[in-house]
Chains A and B, each alone.
Chain A
Amino acid sequence: MPDSVEKEIVSIIAEVSGFDEEEIKPDANFFDDLEIDSIKAIEITVAIEKKFKISVRDEDVPLITTVKHAVELVNTLLEQKAANARA
């Protein structure tokens, strides 16, 4: 599962930023390295929520700055969702 989360997030970043997937390294900073601006930051956040059917809390949005951090956040939220579903 974690691998596919990373793949999906890289695909979202590629679509929004216009960079090829191979160019998007796990530690690349969205704003400094991938030219993400306000509009694209909204697009990425909304696309992640839609793709994984999760809701990112406002205070967690600043974590979405690299692929690595976004994957960690999404995995945490998916685990919480699964735990809630089991409860």
Chain B
Amino acid sequence: MPGLNANEYDAVIIGAGIGGLVCGCYLAKAGMKVLIAEQHFKPGGYCTSFKRGKFTFDAAAHSFGGYRKDGIVRKVFRDLGLDMLLNIKRYDPSDIIMSPDYKISFRSDVAETIKDFISAFPLESDNIEKFFHFLNNPSPISFARMRNWTFRQLLDHYFLDNKLKTILAFPLLGNGGLPPSLMSAFTGSKIFTEFLLDGGYYPEGGMQALPIALVGRFKELGGELRLSCLVKQIVVRDGKVAGVHFENNDFISSRYVVSNCDAMQTFSDLLGSEVVSKEILNEIETMSPSLSMFVLYLGVDNNTFQSLHQPGTNLWILNSYDIEQIYSKINKGHFDEIDDFMMRISPDNQTILAFVNAPFKSRAYWTSKKGKLTEIFIKGIMRNVLPDLTKHLIFRDAATPYTLYRYTLNYKGAAYGWSGIPSQSSFSRYRCPSFINGLYLTGHWITQVQGIPGVIYIGYDTAKMISRK
């Protein structure tokens, strides 16, 4: 790049999560000299896969949404030419919710999904139509009006039947870590539309295919990615970012710094109290991160699943209609039995990924609990879905909230950034903090959006904001 020395960049991005990679691609495409520094040896953040013997497992993200014709992921992949590189399949149904009385399928054709709900809850048929119409035709104003609403208020606004409300809320607990009484109506609606009504997409080769494709494109556009490269300080001079210091004390100068790591780390550690006021640090200290996850990885012998529903579908097992109690138990880490969870048989029929949300605790705590919880979880799957599972099990392992923290350094192993409660929505004013010129935050710690569509939106939008300068 003309005019810049080897250690000078237009933009340094801290973290090669999907948000950081998307942001990096757009900035590089705009002609900037961009460096992405990732502490892990693999790009992708929570969107990675790993191998154990002959089995390939997705680490956390196990499918994605927002890929309909006008969806944000489709738009970004088209802009970056990734739609031609990736072979993306949509599983239909994307999700099935099984409760003691109902089996509801989320189909690619939303009209079919609505039909399924109406046949299960005929007395709520008008309300179901209205609810889906609202979600499919949102106006920007409607969510601003509901900015203080919880998802529970939104559900109560439309429905009377508690079983129906629980079925609608359960996948949101799994995908957002909150019960409807705490989750903001906006976050809940976003998860519902992007994960469920437009969910179930999966790239050939596993979830790691997404970061691999993004990294390939980023490099083609002239970007530089450094793996196993931990940033220890964002350097600020006269109210403006000057660059970053790495762990080995190397300094890189940069006009813009984009932090794709968590907000707590960004403000407390990478910037610190010399740059960030006590009031802001105190405010961040009082904020609560989302729950983490306990993820089970199982490898099985051939032909185990032939009689079951098709692989690639997210199967939500719900045994209790008291969702607040389900949340209360997982929030405290009370896992005597696991009967409410999500599981997915991989498209290659060889592995199962299953998860429950779980609280962050110390390494010692999770080391002591991991084995027992793995067994409890396997029993839960046998009780509810696959009675013969242990006969076919070849491999078992699990990731605890501490594992999620260790690999990604997300504050408290949070699975979805800050907890999506209405009172924390104002945090997004720190996306480009007015007191530090040239600093931007991107990724799932920034707004009320979550998951792959959310971070792709934020990565794209952050690049757009920088490119306008």
Contacts and interface: CB of A to CB of B under 8 A. Distances in A.
A78 interface: no
A47 interface: yes
Interface stretch (B107-115, B347-355, B427-435): B427-435
Nearest to A31: B140
Given A18-B468, A31-B140, A47 B429 contact: yes
Q: By CB atoms of chain B within 10 A, which of A39, A43, A44 has the most?
A: A39
B186 interface: yes
Contact of A38 (B186, B431, B434): B186
A10 interface: no
A38 B143 contact: yes
B432 A38 contact: no
A41 interface: yes
A51 B425 CA distance: 15
A52 interface: no
A8 B83 CA distance: 42
A64 to B, nearest CB: 7
Given A18-B464, A61-B141, A42 B186 contact: yes
Interface string B428-447: 11011010000000000001
B147 interface: yes
Given A15-B434, A61-B145, A64-B144, A39 B468 contact: no
A26 to B, nearest CB: 20
Contact of A15 (B141, B142, B432): B432
Interface residues of B, number: 27
B419 interface: no
Q: By CB atoms of chain B within 10 A, which of A41, A47, A59, A62 has the most?
A: A41
B448 interface: yes
Contacts of B449: 39
Interface string B130-170: 00000000101111111100000000000000000000000
B181 to A, nearest CB: 19
A39 B432 CA distance: 15
B186 A15 contact: no
B185 to A, nearest CB: 10
Dominant secondary structure of chain B at its interface with chain A? helix
Dominant secondary structure of chain A at its interface with chain B? helix
Contact of B147 (A18, A19, A42, A62): A42
- Size bracket, chain A contacts: 20 to 34
Contacts of A47: 426, 429
Given A18-B464, A18-B468, A46 B141 contact: no
Interface in A11-66: 11, 15-16, 18-20, 31, 36-47, 50, 58-59, 61-62, 64
Nearest to B449: A39
Given A18-B464, A42-B448, A50 B426 contact: yes
B465 A18 contact: yes
Nearest to B440: A18
A56 to B, nearest CB: 9
B426 A41 contact: no
Contact of A39 (B428, B464, B466): B428
Given A15-B434, A38-B138, A39-B449, A46 B464 contact: no
Contacts of B147: 42, 45-46
B428 A43 contact: yes
Contacts of A39: 186, 428, 447-449, 457
B144 A45 contact: yes
27 contacts: A11-B434, A15-B429, A15-B431, A15-B432, A16-B429, A18-B464, A18-B468, A19-B468, A20-B468, A38-B138, A38-B143, A38-B144, A39-B447, A41-B140, A41-B141, A41-B143, A42-B186, A42-B448, A43-B426, A45-B144, A46-B426, A46-B429, A47-B426, A58-B146, A59-B145, A61-B145, A64-B144
Interface of A: 11, 15-16, 18-20, 31, 36-47, 50, 58-59, 61-62, 64
Given A38-B140, A46-B147, 13 more contacts: A11-B434, A15-B434, A16-B429, A31-B140, A38-B142, A39-B447, A39-B449, A40-B140, A42-B425, A43-B425, A47-B429, A50-B429, A62-B141
Interface of B: 138, 140-147, 186, 425-426, 428-429, 431-432, 434, 447-449, 457, 461, 464-466, 468-469
In the complex, the 8 A-B pairs of residues with the closest C-beta atoms, listed nearest first: A18-B465, A41-B144, A41-B140, A61-B145, A38-B143, A45-B144, A46-B426, A58-B145
